[in-house]
Amino acid sequence: MSNIKNTLSPAELARYSRHIIIPEFGREGQEKLKNAKVLVIGSGGLGSPLLLYLAAAGVGTLGIVDFDVIDDSNLQRQVLFTVDEVGKSKAQTAKKRIQALNPYINVVVHETRFTKENALELVEQYDLVADGTDNFPTRYLVNDACVLAGKTNVYASIYRFEGQVSVFNYENEDGTRGPNYRDLFPTPPPPGLVPSCSEGGVLGVLPGIIGSMQASEVIKALTGVGEPLAGRLFLFDAASFSTRVLKVAKNPETKITELINYEQFCGIFPDAEEDAVKEITVQELDSLRNLKEDFQLIDVREPYEYDIANLGGELIPLGEVLRNTAKISKDKKVIVHCRSGKRSADAIRDLETLHGYTNLYNLKGGILAHAKEIDTTMPTY
């Protein structure tokens, strides 16, 4: 933390009185919060409750990393935002909201992607990092940057009914560091095994539950009050309302010496050229339709996604594609699409490898690209 200590004003002493009267917390704990700098990666589902409660608690400086804009589909769980703010910057809107909640704190907006190029520079400016991301490349990047910079990483993740919380790379009293994310998960799962929240869904209240727990761990780590979840992974299942706590040990074989290509590490972008698939743009698809060309359009999303928005293609969900090859032509151009282009690319690779298709084209960017570049009235999710 900063060597320059800011003391609490009379107004702040009154505001934070419910903290200060806790014997274990006291004025000392509150002043630690006031002098702390916390970097929050993401202001979405987890970031919303996390930022609200850290701001309300009096964390002196909050940094927000987010390059996204607010979408209507966010409002089911991202309670920082309102209908009137759809289309606006998440980071700037979050700053306005939490400063209205607590004018005594400083909020710094980093309206950029968290990348290999800027990760260390961002992390080194703060005392602690809270990871509210929803994808594996950024999750591993946050972890590695924290390890290299010597910062505590308060981690949380959500999926459908399940949530996780832990405190990684925590500095112990003897100066050693606790386990980090790679000690628990050395390598990411295969691409497509764990869908994102946009593909697999998430219970709307779950980010509130898990994000609040994450905020609690941040406060504990900053003040030294209580016992942080260092060396432990907390698991919560909202469907059964059950919890488990797993022990996490340091792995002597875990070596982090530099930041790497995380998209490639997590299998987001194929490394081998033969894994690439032929593509067609949404503009080219639109032209084919206008010219009334003979082609087949296959949609590999789920039925509920099709009901939200569709391009009129034949619906064959990804999990059913290989059982329905009789419906997929080998005699003309077949364009396969999904929400973003990832699942459709996976479907094409499977069909080419297992069934010898040579006439398949992936719609680049999927429904999202069509809604952005062709039909801006089309709903997205």
- Any bridge partners for residue 299, and if so which? 315, 337
- Closest-CA residue to 218 (of 21, 60, 26): 60
Listed in sequence order, the DSSP H helices in the chain are: 10-15, 17-20, 26-34, 47-57, 90-101, 119-123, 136-149, 181-184, 197-200, 206-223, 262-265, 282-290, 303-308, 342-355, 366-373
Alpha-carbon gap, residue 248 to 244, rounded angstroms: 13
- Closest-CA residue to 179 (of 247, 256, 254, 231): 231
Q: Do 87 and 75 touch, CB atoms closer than 8 A?
A: no
Considering the candidates 147, 285, 338, 371, report the single residue annotated as catalytic: 338
Alpha-carbon gap, residue 141 to 130, rounded angstroms: 13
- Is-catalytic flag, 146? no
Alpha-carbon gap, residue 322 to 354, rounded angstroms: 9
Considering the candidates 165, 197, 266, 351, report the single residue annotated as catalytic: 197
Which residues touch 61 (CB under 8 Å, ≥6 apart)?
36, 37, 38, 105, 106, 107, 108, 126
- Closest-CA residue to 285 (of 321, 315, 314, 311): 311
- Closest-CA residue to 300 (of 257, 252, 336): 336
Q: Do 70 and 233 touch, CB atoms closer than 8 A?
A: no
- Is-catalytic flag, 266? no
Residues noted as catalytic:
197, 338
